[in-house]
């Protein structure tokens, strides 16, 4: 009598397909949310840069004065505030980044505050997989005016 091995070719194929599907979702997820994380970090750096530039342009400065009225724009505007942000927008389209610069104390004198909020709608490459097309990214920074 011959010793016969049970045939499992169909089961192996199904198991392999299931494992590859899980691996695909993991790789795509790491890619998607890795890019989103990179962009969020760039927005945080950009908010810090704009806030630092604004805190040096208060009422008692030799530079061009910014504020105290709220200013809203996007990263592609011809504005010194948008120009301070432009170097960090390497992976984003500047016109898609919204900038809001506000002086909560309604003044731009020394020791008053400046608040910067940047928002960006990150479009997912494989949004159908995650059942969403965009992820809203926001970064905020608040500093005291020095000059």
pLDDT at 125: 83
> What pTM was computed for the model?
0.82
Per mean pLDDT, which range of 34-38, 85-89, 126-130 is the poorest?
Answer: 126-130
pLDDT tens sequence across 45-87: 999 999 999 888 877 666 777 888 899 999 999 989 999 999 9
Between 9 and 45, residue with greater pLDDT: 45
Between 146 and 60, residue with greater pLDDT: 146
Indicate if the alpha-carbon torsion angle 92, 93, 94, 95 is positive or negative.
negative
Local structure of 115: helix, strand or coil: strand
Residue with tokens 């908010």: 47
Cα separation, 120 vs 122, in Å, equals 6
The tally of CA atoms less than 13 A away on the side-chain side of residue 75 is 23
Between 33 and 6, residue with greater pLDDT: 33
Cα separation, 3 vs 35, in Å, equals 55
């Amino acid at each position: 009598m011959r010793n016969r091995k049970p045939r499992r070719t169909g089961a192996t194929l199904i198991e392999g397909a299931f494992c590859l599907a899980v691996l695909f979702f993991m790789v795509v997820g790491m890619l998607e949310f890795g890019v989103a994380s990179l962009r969020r970090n760039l927005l945080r750096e950009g908010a810090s840069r704009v806030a630092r530039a604004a805190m040096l342009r208060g009422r008692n400065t030799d530079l061009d004065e910014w504020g105290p009225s709220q200013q809203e724009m996007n990263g592609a505007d011809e504005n010194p505030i948008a120009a301070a942000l432009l170097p960090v927008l390497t992976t984003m389209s500047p016109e898609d980044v919204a900038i809001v610069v506000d002086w909560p104390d309604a003044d731009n004198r020394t020791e008053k505050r400046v608040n910067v909020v940047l928002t960006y709608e990150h479009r997912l490459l494989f949004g159908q997989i995650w059942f969403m097309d965009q992820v809203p990214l926001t970064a905020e920074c608040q500093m005291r005016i020095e000059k």
